[in-house]
Amino acid sequence: MTTAPRTLTAPLDERGFALVLHGGAGGRVEELSLEVKADYDAGLAAAHRAGEEVLAAGGAALDAVCATVAALEDDPLFNAGRGAALTASGRAELDASVMTGDGAAGAVAASRWARNPVQAARAVMERTDHVLLVAPAAKLVRSWGLETVDPEHFVTEARLAQLRRVLAARQEAPRHGTVGAVAIDAEGRIAAATSTGGMVGQADGRVGDTPIIGAGTFARDGVIGVSCTGEGEAFLRGAVAHDVTARIAYAGQEPLAAIEATIAAELTARGASGGLIAAGPTGVVVAHNSPAMFAAYREGERLVTLT
């Protein structure tokens, strides 16, 4: 379901950096109880705090987005890591990507052993000559110095129940669960990271936009960083994250105009829904044409959480 696009913006922090995160875009928030909504608000705030502490201490944008996304992966409320949606056979197959504004990038798809797929994606970027690895083995993940877990760690009762409902009703699966973060640090470096469990009941082996550089994640110093969430196939076909960047870098559009144009052309016009977050020299943007989007960013001294 698509709605009229909604965009929110905020300038850089007075300390010269900015961080924005999302916890997915999708259905109407009226369906959430006040208690569950409070839990989402708390999870978003905790994840934002994890990344902001890095930036406030003078840390790099890459460290900030990885800390933020790892916190969301560890929270079972969100469709990434511990709270991942399950495939039709009841497996968790996790995707993640990271990119820095100097062009470095790494990603994993169908990851089953790394506790935090975003850290595995970073390891691909920093410890291999590759950009994307599919189903990295536990031995390889451990060789990177990362924590591994049994794949059952990601299979929660809540997600099993959700899978049973979707399969029993033969209903269309929710398509909007993803988490991500984008930051610009005090040195002007930009980084973006995205992580997901995919769609509920998806075919084993299905991969969406999240681990595809240019589709679900992109960053370019001096321009913008983008992390996407929504109907993955639409973001893949439209290379949405790169399209936003190209509109700014090559067509000279302002970030907000570029984002609105991309959503209109690549999502709304094609009957697809979702959203994205972005950060760059002018600040942060949250934009979506889905009924709702979970996100957090700082506006002055106030932390804004959207649920």
**pLDDT digit string, tens, across residues 117-169:** 999 999 999 999 999 999 999 999 999 999 999 999 999 999 999 999 989 88
Any idea which architecture 6-306 has in CATH?
4-Layer Sandwich (3.60)
Strand partners, 277: 227, 286
Lookup: tokens for 43: 């999870």
How far apart CA 72 and CA 81 sit, in angstroms, is 8
Given a cut of 90, whether residue 307 has pLDDT beyond it is no
Bind-site residues: 206-209, 229-232
Residue with tokens 């506790």: 115
pTM, 2 dp: 0.96
Provide the terminal-to-terminal Cα distance of the chain, rounded to the nearest Å: 17
Q: Which pLDDT value is given to residue 288?
A: 97
Order across the sheet with 302-306: list the strands: 132-134, 105-111, 94-100, 190-196, 179-184, 18-26, 292-299, 302-306
pLDDT by residue (tens digit) across 245-258? 999 999 999 999 99
| 62: enclosing H helix or E strand | helix 61-73
Active site residues: 178
How far apart CA 172 and CA 109 sit, in angstroms, is 23
Diameter of the chain measured on Cα atoms: 52
Bind-site residues for substrate: 206-209, 229-232
Domain ranges for the chain, please list them.
6-306
Does residue 65 contact residue 193 with C-beta atoms inside 8 Å?
yes
Positive or negative torsion for Cα 196, 116, 304, 214 = negative
